[in-house]
Chain A
Amino acid sequence: MAETPTKPKFKLPSVAELKEGQIWKSIFRHKLDETPRNRSLAVLSNVFLHLHPAKINRDAVRYNYTWGMGGITFYLFLVLTITGVLLMFYYHPSKGQAYRDIMYIMHDVPFGNFTRNMHRWAAHSMIITTWLHMFRVFLTGSYKPPREFNWNIGVLLLLFTMLLSFTGYLLPDDQLGFWAVTVGTNMARATPVLGSEGPFGPQMGITAFNDVRFALLGGSIVDANALLRAYIWHCVAIPIIASVLMIVHFWRIRKDGAISGPAPVMIEQDLSGPVAKKA
């Protein structure tokens, strides 16, 4: 009304003022003081940071204890997810088109070759780091109780990492990938019971048209169906499965004494099975 002329001019709020405002306070629930309590709160109240423990053993950050291989493997998985999604914007999983798309990505798409090479090198590296991680876990005896369950989750993750690698092999639809998948799926013929040339396979009525290789390829030859199946397994199904397993894996690390930590103290009557006796 009449007071409009007397209204103060709009002024950008300072950071200090912002911090007093409702928006800031709705996002950040506490101050960021340099106190142990506040530093813990910063971790605990953040969905991303809370994946990390608020406090860890001093030894857990020593590289010569863990080589950081598990973390690097997870980091590479993130790199692969991001670059993989980027590559999917240009890739059609159909015969003929697939190889052209790879050429297109490599030679024409801006940063396409860079993205593809990042994906490729991260994939190779992830296989290596997964093995090294496993090797370290073996050397430090971290597969022993109470961590034996997590070791098994890790073995499954290794399997799915290699399946990701294998399914990604076919996607360029080049000679290398085509024959690699030909060889790999021919090995599946020799699967016991489920393979048409494996032990007890023919006796169970398994032929080349209903065996495990057939299910992998979606047909009896490495063709369009195989390419599409490799694509779906590679880009959707296995990443989801592996992510679920990773959630369990990381959770169990925390619950089983954390990185480089001693086994957690458990009350015997809360435990069942061999762990109780071990303790």
Chain B
Amino acid sequence: MAILVNQDTRLLIQGITGREGQFHGQQMINYGTNVVAGVTPGKGGQTTLETVPVFNTVEHAVRETGANTSIIYVPPAFAADAALEAFETGIEVVIIITEGVPTIQMMKVFHEAKRLGKRFVGPNCPGVISPGLAKVGIMPGHIHKKGNIGVISRSGTLTYEVVWELTSAGLGQSTCVGIGGDPIIGSTFTDLLALFEKDPGTDAVVVIGEIGGTDEQDAAAFVRDQMTKPVVGFVAGLTAPPGKRMGHAGAIISGGEGTAQEKLAAFEACGVRTAKLPGEIPGIVKELLGSTTA
């Protein structure tokens, strides 16, 4: 079992004929993801990546192929439109990889998704992988291992670092979700913790946060109030100066709010165990799993 993507995922790639769409499309196919269609307006009718049909519109692609999940690799100027177009079809989950989408555009995308009852992940994220079942993103597949740990993170390479630590320690993952580093994102820690809590294939969750916003604090309260499964928290940016954007558009301490210190304190106050170093995470996970099964 897993969340968001699995063996039933029928993937549509928006921007499939672009450089990123081509490269990562092939990587996803190699991993075993069921890529059923691609969309690039004006390039419909072609076949790409050997067997994948390209369509001009998402509606046509869904009608012909039964695609139920979409991944977006289009440039920032077109990303909001691509997501909005997908929401109006039978696509249930949209994953936006694109970095650099204006926040006010994402505000409109967020509220439209809510109105139509659609789920999206990102933007500015590495995507979602359910090891052994489907990879819908840009993460290196081979560092993952099938298992029972859920991972949620605002970062890319830091997620790989933590996943690699887990895999090396023999701890496989049910699903790893990169939620993205922007101020407005489709799925928050809390949204995904709720899915992991219900997922019978997940026994513990690792949450990797960073400076900016209060998503980690909300997640901490959710774990305290609604979760039975153990959660381990990690927060990057203890040394980040206030007022400076640390790479990610959402990683900024503003008005003294959003510090790593306050997020770690919120985790601790809500009974979420925290790790000081990424290398400590597997040990804590093992300890918590041991104590729940004992």
Q: Do A and B come from one complex?
A: no
Residue numbers of A with Cβ under 8 A of B are: none
Residue numbers of B with Cβ under 8 A of A are: none
